[in-house]
Amino acid sequence: MSKPDLKIYLAAPRGFCAGVDRAIQIVELALEKYGPPVYVRHEIVHNRFVVEGLKAKGAVFVEELDEIPDTEQPVIFSAHGVPKKVPEAAESRNMFYLDATCPLVSKVHKEAQIHHKRGYDIVLIGHKGHPEVVGTMGQLPDGAVTLIETIEDARALQPKNPDNLAWITQTTLSVDDTSDIIGELKQRFPNITGPHKDDICYATTNRQDAVKAISPKVDAVIVVGAPNSSNSKRLREVAEREGCSKAFLLQRASDIDWTRFDGVEALGITAGASAPEVLVEEMIEAFQSRYSVTVEAVTTAEETIAFNLPRELRA
């Protein structure tokens, strides 16, 4: 029996960004140089496949430093960044630690510190409880940063001094939603100070732009990524906002509910910034087993950014 035709539009850029690539390299190189175990505080990136692969090589993942025994082995902080108290606690125990915080998250940390030194009240646009938000707020004393998540929060904000405000953002937000929130803040507080360059990172912006380009062409979109990955969840939302009512966030091909793809003739596929390309290939192969597939890449940007590794791991 002949297979139905399916056109797959493959978004590019997709998948690993420079910060994720660097973080994974840090764990792999630390394992090579120092041998297992290497301890990692929190998932190095939000992807179960990546984490399980590193576990198999000897990485031990913990949520807090007090889960780690006294050791001379490396302790690595995840790409999302950590509150200041974490490296301080590591130093108090004479731990050898490597910081895999994405440099673009570190940039937001520095901005927060500069605003604080200049006496500004700081507004952070982000998602409560996300490790990046916890890490950014943890750069400053309690109460120095006010978190807002929605445009309604921006409308309800009552700062102590409306003329003495600065805003920063999580790096993995929806570009459009964040723009609306910033617009509301600027309208209410015309003297509010923002970053010199947008905090939402290049990779988040590029991946959302690519999804915007494919969504009008397709009947369904699959975002390959983890349910706890902020940037992946935003990609699914962007696809929906661009008119694709069937937009799914899936970790693996085994998660596909085939009944949801009945009648689909054009499919968009992308991947969150912490999803490896092998999972995209797995997804395409799953559709090739049931459909006669043609694949067309839709490229909206070229990425050439790479970040330096910690000095201890450079060849």
Residue 223: predicted pLDDT: 98
pLDDT band of residue 235 (cuts 50, 70, 90) is very high
pLDDT at 131 exceeding the cut of 80: yes
CB under 8 A, 24+ apart: contacts of 253-258? 253/279, 253/282, 253/283, 253/285, 253/286, 256/222, 256/283, 256/286, 258/290
Averaged over 151-178, what is the pLDDT?
95
227-233-239 Cα angle (round to 5): 135
Q: How confident is the model at residue 315 (pLDDT cuts 50, 70, 90)?
A: confident
Tell me, yes or no, if 132 is annotated catalytic. Answer: yes
Unique residue bearing structure tokens 């120095």 = 144
Distances (CA, A) of 171 to 102, 103, 120, 165, 230: 10, 11, 21, 20, 9
pLDDT classification of 158: cutoffs 50, 70, 90: very high
pLDDT exceeds cutoff 90 at 198: no
How much is the pTM? 0.94
The rounded distance, in Å, linking the Cα atoms of 242 and 240 is 5
* Residue 176, pLDDT score: 93
With 80 as the cut, is the pLDDT of residue 1 above it?
no
Q: Is the pLDDT of residue 90 over 90?
A: yes
Domains observed in the chain = 5-16+202-299 (3.40.1010.20), 18-99 (3.40.50.11270), 103-200 (3.40.1010.20)
* Structure confidence at residue 197 as a pLDDT band (50, 70, 90): confident
DSSP states of 95-158 as a string? --EEE---HHHHHHHHHHHHHHHTT-EEEEES-TT-HHHHHHHTTS-TTSEEEE-SHHHHHH--
Please compute the mean of the pLDDT values over residues 106-124 and round it to a whole number. 97
- Tell me the mean pLDDT in the region 84-90: 97
Reading the block at residue 85, the tokens are: 């108290």
Mean pLDDT of 102-116: 97
Distances (CA, A) of 33 to 36, 39, 282, 312: 9, 14, 31, 10
| DSSP code of residue 220 | E
- In which band, very low, low, confident or very high, does the pLDDT at 199 lie, cut at 50, 70 and 90? confident
pLDDT band for position 196 (50/70/90)?
confident
Percent of the chain with pLDDT over 70: 100
Cα gap 151→207, rounded to integer Å: 23
Catalytic residue among 111, 132, 184, 242: 132
pLDDT band for 301, please (50, 70, 90 cuts). very high
